[in-house]
Chain A
Amino acid sequence: MRIVWLVAVGAAFVLLVAPHHAHAGDRGLASAFMCQCGCGLTLASCTHASCGPRDQVLGEIAALERQGRSPAQITAALVGTYGEVILGAPTRRGFNLLAWWGPYGAIAAGAALILGLGMSWVRRPTVITPDSPPGLSPQQREHLERELVAFRD
């Protein structure tokens, strides 16, 4: 019962905290689309002081916003022009679901494995092991004494 509770709390945590939709952040849509200059960053964080591809896409976004297009319509228009590579995060469809849910699936599988193994380890009868190491032979004792004296010096 305790384990069911643990799993439920874990699942609730992920569902509560994991956002379910693309969220653009403080810089609006500029944070949701990748710059096409090759920097590997979003339009909002492209590191180039002057960047033609960034300014072009930002201009297109501004123009579409002036036309009253919604974020979803702007996204569709940009994907139509540039392909999915313009999106800062993959769509939540088909093969891309592997990227979105793969890590959580792996962690959930790992948690199940730990719980399963852990329960079997808990049930296992305790093995009594000797507390002290086996006795030393005279040669070993002499060797140890010599090394310890050298080490202290």
Chain B
Amino acid sequence: MTYQTQQIHQDISGNTNGKNAIVAKDLSIYYGDFLAVKKVSLEIQKQKITAIIGPSGCGKSTMLRAFNRMNELVPTAHATGEVIFYGINIYDQNIDPVEVRRHIGMVFQKPNPFPKTIYENIAWGAQINGFKGSKSEMDNLVEEALVGAALWEEVKDKLDQSGLSLSGGQQQRLCIARTIAIKPAIILMDEPASALDPLATLKIEELMKELAKNYTIIVVTHNMQQAARVSDYTAFFTMGDDRAGFLMEFGETNQIFTNPKQKVTEDYITGRFG
């Protein structure tokens, strides 16, 4: 572990560090030569839900993935600017993206449990990250994560069944349980309910509110009602003529939805474009 990576580790286990969980400063993201997100500065508050909304192709998901350096799985992607997490720029050369992702977890659009048992789905993340506990402590961790994701009651008798045997909504909650089992500071959610039916969606939304008591959540959503229902803050992204996405407006969800400062935001929210 490099010095800075160690520091992330310590700061996370240490006390609070201001009201912001993560801050983007002049962040631009490129795919090859193409500028996908242009000079975004954004402050995400601790233990709040921040929604990122905007029309298709405006770089919402790219922005979200920039928070845990997932964009780098695309070989041509690179970023300029800073993302400050516990006082450290996660794009600093000394920072290992693997360590970043361990502290900033991610839930994807399509539920993607591993083709392993429910128990293994949760335990695996802990195992590879050097979980020090015994077998019974691991059992506790799995139970705790499943309770935290409101899935325990449904699966407690079939922990040895494949994660793929669950319904779509249950699979998505399993993915959330898997993420919280490794105790991240922030959970990124990329349209977590878009592949689910309305009832399963509702459950996920309730779960998000519950999780926000302990975790900072950033959620990308296409569904404006969802953003209005669950989020505390809303960031509205749109794109310019150069097809580069940028942050149009950011503020408390109430204000964005009832009294937007920008005309474009109002047009989008009232459904006039997008």
Q: Do A and B bind each other?
A: no
Which residues of B are in contact with A by a Cβ distance under 8 Å?
none
